Amino acid sequence: MNFLIDFLAELFGSFTALTWQQVVMWIIGGVLIFLAIKREMEPTLLLPMGFGAILVNIPFSGAVEQLVDGVLEHGPLTTLFNAGISNELFPLILFIGIGAMIDFGPLLSNPKLMFFGAAAQFGIFITVFFASFFFDIKDAASIGIIGAADGPTAIVVSQKLGSNFVPAIMVAAYSYMALVPIIQPPVIKALTTKKERMIRMPYEPKEVTKLTRILFPIVITVIAGLVAPSSVALVGFLMFGNLIRECGVLNSLSDTAQNVLANLITIFLGITIASQMTAEKFLVPSTLLIIGLGLFAFIFDTAGGVLFAKLVNLFTKKKINPMIGAAGISAFPMSARVIHKMGLEEDPGNFLLMHTIGVNVSGQIASVIAGGLILNMFM
Amino acid sequence: METTNNTTVVTTDISTTENTELVTTVGTDDAMGNIQFRTDQIGESLGAMGKGMLGIFIVIAAIVFVSALLNKVTSTKKDGDNE
């Protein structure tokens, strides 16, 4: 009998080490998985993150580095984190894939749309200001970059600034990207009238030559790099992916970058980010505050783009539908689709998609430049 | 401590200590757990806000200008080739 008791105690010994905080993290992981599968909200990211959160919150989990009986046991998630996140490698490689997916054509046929992308980064900087009331300035800057609505940029900037809150920042950035269809519409409706939302914008495409498409990524890299050298990796990898796409002689590489490479890195990124979601790092008051500030950043990104469009309308005869300003948030292509759908709801004949795609793509560029400026100012 | 070629080298005996706990947390407990309201960074953060937004618009303006120029030059070149 004693043998049986001892045996069961040894077999299920980890139960005694289980804390309520770890159970809470299991629930959070479950919620992320639910949102990914049932609501189809950014499943490529939320599902690995959710499952990873469960993995790392099992007592003495072999998935992360642990000191067991005085011996350091290496965990694969910690190894992956050191290999690809702490040195910012994974998000940068993912940017190659993202760059290969982006078609800058609608933007290049109307380059002025890029100003809406710039305006929609307002949420980043106003969040830095408000976060600085609670956090050290480098942490505040890292929290502000959640407003870039761009996971790789958030990871790179927060890692380079040595933020103490990288796990919460990463989770907030990726989670809010998935929540764009919920966050943006109420903000847009609060700042616009029905008449404004019904403004039609006929699409008049201008031809964009192949040479322009090839030179554009090179020129952007040089300009952004000269202004903010710290952003060369971010901008450069994004534009390298785009150059592979546009050059016309590397179709197999472009296809690989858009599909296999992007999917592979996304798998590693999602589950590796979760390695930082241990209960003791995540369930602290500052995490809740960071998540709140992240929401604040997204709201003010949306507001910044819409209000800028309304400001432009004061000075132009040909009116712009102010909703397209909100597409300047870098959540590509979700934000573009959300605003296009809102336009159709107001007026079934109003097709804003090509404009919103152009603005959305410009937001990708602007968010990376914003990340570079943040690094320039605070590194 | 010895001095060689104007360089001072300090040597210290390092005694081993028992490693009783693996610290995997990022940052200090204070930084992670306690939230304190502070106002000493207002100037710096407001300045960053202003410089950041201005910087973005200036860089984007440069990119817009170059993009428009690229469009004009390459389409002019194409028209020239067609002629």
Nearest to A67 among B22, B37, B57 (CB): B22
Which chain A residue shows the shortest CA-CA distance from B46? A129
pLDDT digits (tens, 9 = 90+) for A143-160: 999 999 888 899 899 989
Nearest to A128 among B49, B75, B78 (CB): B49
3-state secondary structure A109-158: CCHHHHHHHHHCCHHHHHHHHHHCCCCCHHHHHHHHHHHHCCHHHHHHHH
Residue A169 · residue A33 · CB < 8 Å = no
Q: Which residues pair with B3 in a beta bridge?
A: B8
C-alpha gyration radius of chain A: 22
Ramachandran sector of residue A88 (left: φ over 0; alpha: ψ -120 to 50; beta: rest): left
Q: What pLDDT, on the 0 to 100 scale, is given for residue A273?
A: 84
| Tally of domains within chain B | 1
DSSP string of A316-354?
-SS---THHHHTTSS-TTHHHHHHHHHHHHH-TT---HH
Q: Decide which of B7 and A193 is more confident.
A: A193
Nearest to B25 among A65, A280, A377 (CB): A280
Q: What pLDDT, on the 0 to 100 scale, is given for residue A320?
A: 93
Which chain B residue shows the shortest CA-CA distance from A216? B67
Rounded to whole angstroms, how far apart are CA atoms A267 and A177?
17
pLDDT digits (tens, 9 = 90+) for A182-233: 899 999 999 999 999 999 988 887 889 999 999 999 999 999 889 888 889 9
Q: What pLDDT, on the 0 to 100 scale, is given for residue B23?
A: 31
A38-42, A157-161, A346-350, B4-8: least confident range: B4-8
ipTM for the assembly: 0.86
For B:46-75, CB contacts with A below 8 A are 46, 48-49, 51-53, 55-64, 66-68, 70-71, 74-75
Interface A–B counts its CB contacts (< 8 A) at 156
Q: Decide which of B79 and B8 is more confident.
A: B79
Q: What is the share, in percent, of chain A residues with pLDDT greater than 90? A: 60
Q: What pLDDT, on the 0 to 100 scale, is given for residue A257?
A: 95
Please judge whether A125 and B53 are an interchain contact, meaning their C-beta atoms are less than 8 angstroms apart.
yes
Find the mean pLDDT for residues A96-102. Answer: 93
Q: Which residues does chain A have within 8 Å of residue B82's beta carbon, measured at their own beta carbons?
A: none
Q: Does residue A299 register a pLDDT over 90?
A: yes
Dmax (CA) for chain B in angstroms is: 84
Ramachandran sector of residue A70 (left: φ over 0; alpha: ψ -120 to 50; beta: rest): left
Name A319's Cβ contacts closer than 8 Å, sequence gap at least 6.
A199, A313
Q: What pLDDT, on the 0 to 100 scale, is given for residue A204?
A: 81
Q: What pLDDT, on the 0 to 100 scale, is given for residue A231?
A: 85
H or E stretch covering A275: none
Query: Is B17 part of any domain?
Result: no
Reported confidence tier of residue A363, pLDDT bands at 50, 70, 90: very high
Query: Is B57 part of any domain?
Result: yes
Reported confidence tier of residue A95, pLDDT bands at 50, 70, 90: very high
Alpha carbon separation from A35 to A41, A179, A254 (Å, rounded): 6, 10, 31
Reported confidence tier of residue B21, pLDDT bands at 50, 70, 90: very low
Q: Which residues does chain A have within 8 Å of residue B32's beta carbon, measured at their own beta carbons?
A: 164-165, 281, 284, 286
Reported confidence tier of residue B11, pLDDT bands at 50, 70, 90: very low
H or E stretch covering A65: none
Query: Is B25 part of any domain?
Result: no
How distant is the Cα of A79 from the closest Cα of chain B, in angstroms?
13
Range of the domain at B69: 42-83
Q: Does residue A290 register a pLDDT over 50?
A: yes
Q: What pLDDT, on the 0 to 100 scale, is given for residue B25?
A: 34
Find the mean pLDDT for residues B45-61. Answer: 93
How distant is the Cα of B60 from the closest Cα of chain A, in angstroms?
7
Reported confidence tier of residue B10, pLDDT bands at 50, 70, 90: very low
Q: Which residues does chain B have within 8 Å of residue A141's beta carbon, measured at their own beta carbons?
A: 48
Nearest to B25 among A121, A215, A281 (CB): A281
Number of residues written out for chain B: 83
For residue A361, give both structure tokens.
């793509």
Please judge whether B31 and A124 are an interchain contact, meaning their C-beta atoms are less than 8 angstroms apart.
no
Tell me the whole-structure pTM to 2 decimals.
Answer: 0.82
pLDDT digits (tens, 9 = 90+) for A219-268: 999 998 898 888 899 899 999 999 999 999 999 999 999 999 999 999 89
Please judge whether A134 and B63 are an interchain contact, meaning their C-beta atoms are less than 8 angstroms apart.
no
Angle at A298 between CA A296 and CA A300, to 5 degrees: 70
Find the mean pLDDT for residues A110-137. Answer: 95
Nearest to B45 among A108, A137, A165 (CB): A137
A77-86, A164-173, A368-377, B14-23: least confident range: B14-23
pLDDT digits (tens, 9 = 90+) for A333-362: 889 999 999 999 999 999 999 899 999 999
Query: Residues B67-83, buried b or exposed e (16+ Cβ, 10 A)?
Result: beebbeebbeeeeeeee
Residue A336 · residue A327 · CB < 8 Å = yes
For B:1-40, CB contacts with A below 8 A are 19, 21-22, 24-28, 31-39
Domain ranges of chain A: 102-251+281-378
Which chain B residue shows the shortest CA-CA distance from A128? B45
Neighbour-count burial of A143, counting CB atoms closer than 10 A to its CB (0-12 exposed, 13-18 middle, 19+ buried): buried
Please judge whether A164 and B57 are an interchain contact, meaning their C-beta atoms are less than 8 angstroms apart.
no
A4-13, A20-29, A202-211: least confident range: A4-13
Query: Is B83 part of any domain?
Result: yes
Please judge whether A286 and B78 are an interchain contact, meaning their C-beta atoms are less than 8 angstroms apart.
no
Is the peptide bond prior to A333 cis by the omega test (within 30 degrees of 0)?
yes
Bridge pairing between strands B7-9 and B2-4? antiparallel
Q: What is the mean pLDDT of chain A?
A: 90
Please judge whether A369 and B60 are an interchain contact, meaning their C-beta atoms are less than 8 angstroms apart.
yes
Q: Which residues does chain A have within 8 Å of residue B42's beta carbon, measured at their own beta carbons?
A: 132-133
Nearest to B53 among A122, A133, A209 (CB): A122
How distant is the Cα of A1 from the closest Cα of chain B, in angstroms?
35
